[in-house]
Amino acid sequence: MVSIDRTSQLARVQPTAALGAIELELRAAGWTLGPLPENSERMPVVSAVATDASSLAGSGTGFLSRRYDESSQGLRLRILPMPEAQAGCAVLLPDFTRGIEALRLLAQRDRLPEEALLLDRNAAGLWLSAAEVGSQTESLLRPEDALLLMVAQGVSGVASERIARAAATLTDLGAETLGQDVAQAWAATRERVVTATPTLLAAGWEFERREARRTWSDPIAEARQSGSWVGMEATGANAHSVLLRARRLSAAS
């Protein structure tokens, strides 16, 4: 399924192949595509490229940036060596607005780790429950709080240093570091919320996801309709913009 050019750090794949299967094959050979889009297990490469699919928590732009070129022999994707180590950190911020400012600072000061996911209070409760980190951790969040989850990858020792620098950048925003356990628990269970959709549908609920990229100067708001639960997330940050994602849970019509 995958032909790897180690010298050029490229992988030639069939456009209809599923991302999940490609990633498994790459990892077995010591390589990775990096952070993947949601539902990547079945998503064809061609769909991920055509829609510029965003990853669950990856910093920067969407999947289109992984495409190198395409020919009759297949599509070539940029790949990375599997990291030697990873380090994580969860940071509590006073509100979602200051969380957005935290992402902007990290992006524009070139201190963003490979994965950075900002959650408002609703979304944080959802992800923490899925990660089974315990009610004690969730109880630390006040009604307006936001939670920033960060994961850095790289050479052993360097990843933890990058996380420490990122956390130190946010001290003036009233950030409170919760340590690495919460981030590690989230990273190990990140698919649970995504794969819960069929179960919710069977129980009579609709679980929708909406995404929109906004520049840092755009207003950031999400209307909460009566009878709906909405969790806001922000990820995909770069120097110019951020990807906003709303997950809405409502009774099926």
Q: What is the domain-level CATH number for residue 246? A: 3.40.462.40
Q: Residue 105: pLDDT above 90?
A: yes
Domain count, the chain: 2
**Cα–Cα distance, 100 to 112 (Å, whole number):** 13
Residues 40 and 141 placed together within one structural domain of the fold = no
The pLDDT tens digits of the residues spanning 39-96 come to 788 899 999 999 888 888 888 778 888 899 988 888 999 999 999 999 999 999 999 9
Residues 156 and 205 placed together within one structural domain of the fold = yes
Residues 70 and 147 placed together within one structural domain of the fold = no
Residues 163 and 44 placed together within one structural domain of the fold = no
Residues 96 and 181 placed together within one structural domain of the fold = yes
Q: Residue 183: pLDDT above 70?
A: yes
Burial of 48 (0-12, 13-18, 19+ CB in 10 A): buried
Residues 29 and 63 placed together within one structural domain of the fold = yes
**Cα–Cα distance, 143 to 20 (Å, whole number):** 36
Task: Return the pLDDT at 227.
Answer: 57
Residues 68 and 105 placed together within one structural domain of the fold = no
Q: Pick the last residue of a domain from 49, 65, 81.
A: 81
131: its two tokens: 């990660």
Q: Residue 193: pLDDT above 80?
A: no
4: its two tokens: 């790897």
Residues 61 and 181 placed together within one structural domain of the fold = no
Task: Tell me which residue of 193, 39, 71 sits closest to 124, measured CA to CA.
Answer: 193
Residues 206 and 130 placed together within one structural domain of the fold = yes
H helices present in the chain, as ranges = 19-28, 45-50, 96-108, 121-131, 135-138, 158-169, 181-188, 191-194, 197-202
Residues 118 and 189 placed together within one structural domain of the fold = yes
Q: Residue 165: pLDDT above 70?
A: yes
> Would you say the C-alpha torsion 44, 50, 56, 59 has a positive or negative sign?
positive
**Cα–Cα distance, 80 to 132 (Å, whole number):** 30
Q: Pick the last residue of a domain from 54, 81, 108.
A: 81
Residues 68 and 90 placed together within one structural domain of the fold = no
Residues 245 and 190 placed together within one structural domain of the fold = yes
Interval 140-167 mean pLDDT: 90
The residue segments making up the domain with residue 49 are 2-81
Q: Pick the last residue of a domain from 20, 49, 81.
A: 81
Task: Return the pLDDT at 1.
Answer: 66
